[in-house]
Structure 1
Amino acid sequence: MATGTEPHTDTGVRGAARAAIAARHLRTDRWWLAPAATAGGLLAFIVYSTWRAFANSDYYAAPYVSPFYSPCLAENCVPMKGGPNWEIFGSWWTLSPALLILVFPLGFRLTCYYYRKAYYRGFWASPPACAVAEPHRKYTGETRFPLILQNMHRYFFYAALPVAVILTYDTALAFRDAEYAWGHMGLGTVVFLVNIVLIWAYTLSCHSCRHIIGGRLRHFSRHPVRYRLWGLVGRLNERHMLLAWSSLISVALADFYVYLLASGAFVDPRFF
């Protein structure tokens, strides 16, 4: 008979209704390497992007502008001839202009379905890996704060689209020389071209994009164009993890390349 003084019964995989297995897990391989690598990669990007976002310097070397700082939305931006300088925030904004724009691609990535899995396993440890005990007392998924904010992913997708368009414009401007004459192509142009291709591939491979294009169609035969687009996005979606990491690395490399040029540490090799 219950007396009310019994010790607390664990829930989850160690609940009273589950098999009483003393071992913390039954895996013999180094299952923790994948979550650790995920955590290390994301942490490295967070540290680098935070440093660059607050630096507020060395983000423009004609004709290249760092993707972290484009478009420039405050008066404290350095002059960028022909670049997307929209001083809609005026002079009252005194912090780095990158902080005004990075929130949108950052929000898009943080709520991305792949990154959810990646940082849930790498940081949240939920779940850490197959056949490894769930460390949390109760699994609530994305029904409570702060994880319920992941449901904003579709809206961040809408915000990420114009950012990708602007970065495409910046890539077109990379075909100018330092005197803003067209017909230039340097190593930086190639860096920007690779980056924008990966940015678009990652953005369009998004699960929300796939659903928006064809997720709610009842009859594909009545919508042949949308069906073909849905199939194309579906093939990209199969490589969503690869595109997520590739675009993350490429956007950091594009920013770092501009930093090297702007700080005078490197001279952009010109092909023609």
Structure 2
Amino acid sequence: MASTGVDAPGRAKIDVRTLRTDRWWIQPLVTFLALTAFVVYSAWRVFSGQYYVFEPYVSLYYSPCLVTTCDPGAIPAGPISWWTLSPALLIAWIPLTFRFTCYYYRKAYFRSFWMSPPACAVAEPHGKYTGERRLPLILNNMHRYTFYLALLLNIMLTIDAVAAFRKPEGGWGYIGLGTIILCVNAAALWMYTLSCHSCRNAVGGRITHFSKHPVRYKMWTFVSRINAHHMKWAWISLCTVVLADFYVYLLASGILSTDLHISF
């Protein structure tokens, strides 16, 4: 008999894994399929190293492009000249690490991939729990630092969204379907990032008296309100990331011959 977990001494002796009669397995299954699809898609796009620019659009996996061999239209280009692999590998690790260490996503993949536990009132198959005190899970403590990197990346993606209003021939006044998608994606990413638990701690943590910090208190109350919807923004932003990149890919690869747009 195991000395830890659900079979530990003093725990109720139940022969079945759970007494739940509902379809509790649907949510972890859907989460598993959705996150797996996202990882596969992201790996394909990040390692491909092509079809990421269609002026005035730049794929968010490749922005900012830090190598001198960036496709024309990527902003900014350079200054790294020695890099020979996909330019996305220099950037994409930031949002991917930020999401992988996110408190919500940790709960999501702990339940759906590792079944720890798969659902409320459902026994997990593991005999013991070691927490996040050793490799590789101790790296989840990087979340508070990747949060600040994600903020910088959001600024760049917002610049890309604004730049999507540029006319290819010069000047401003271009509004295409891609312009709308990039703007929606930038907004969703800001909501996801600002609703992060690390953001809530950054603006309101380590304060003894909120009355002495009225500005930070207002920021904390705002972040606290949107923090309640962090899971929703996690999934919305995940979908907009894929949609934005895939639309740029369709245009850059020639699968779509033109971007639906108006110019004034």
Task: Please tell me the TM-score bracket, short chain as reference.
Answer: over 0.9
CA contact under 8 A between 1:84 and 1:166: conserved in structure 2?
Answer: no
Closer, same or farther in 2 for the Cα pair 1:133/1:74, shift >3 Å?
same
Query: What corresponds to 1:117 in structure 2?
Result: 107
Q: What per-residue deviation string (whole Å, max 9, x for no partner) do you get for residues 50-75 of structure 1?
A: 11111111100001000010000112
Q: Separation in 2 of the partners of 1:19 and 1:199?
A: 44
1:50 paired residue among 27, 32, 43:
43
Native 8 Å contact 1:14 1:20 kept in 2:
yes
Tell me, yes or no, if the aligned pair for 1:108 and 1:156 is still in contact at 8 Å: yes
CA distance in 1, matches of 2:127, 2:69: 49
Out of 232, 244, 254, which is 1:242 matched to? 232
Equivalent residue in structure 2 for 1:219, among 195, 203, 209: 209
**Equivalent residue number for residue 3 of structure 1:** none
SS of structure 2 residue aligned to 1:195: helix
Q: State the partner residue of 1:251.
A: 241
RMSD of the TM alignment (CA)? Answer: 1.2
Does 2:173 correspond to 1:183? Answer: yes
Supply the distance in 1 between the matched residues of 2:53 and 2:206 (Cα, whole angstroms): 43
Task: Give secondary structure in 2 for the equivalent of 1:124.
Answer: coil
Task: Return the alpha-carbon distance in structure 2 between the equivalents of residues 205 and 37 of structure 1.
Answer: 23
Larger Rg over CA atoms? 1
Does structure 1 residue 264 correspond to structure 2 residue 264?
A: no
2:24 partner letter: W
Structure 1, unaligned runs of 5 or more: 1-7
Structure 2 regions of 5+ residues with no counterpart? none
Shift of 1:264: 1.6
Which letter maps to 1:32? W
Match of 2:67 in 1: 74
- After TM superposition, give the deviation of residue 15 of structure 1 in Å: 1.8
For normalisation by structure 1, the TM-score amounts to 0.93
In the alignment, the residues of structure 1 paired with residue 15 and residue 208 of structure 2 have an alpha-carbon distance, to the nearest angstrom, of 50
Q: CA deviation at 1:263?
A: 1.3
Within the candidate set 114, 124, 143, 1:153 is matched to 143
**Partner SS for 1:185:** strand
Q: Deviations over 1:175-209 (max 9, x none)?
A: 01222321111111101110000011111111000
Identical amino acids, percent of aligned pairs: 59
Give 1:119's aligned amino acid: Y
Corresponding pairs, count: 262
- In the alignment, is the contact (CA less than 8 A) between 2:28 and 2:111 conserved in 1? yes
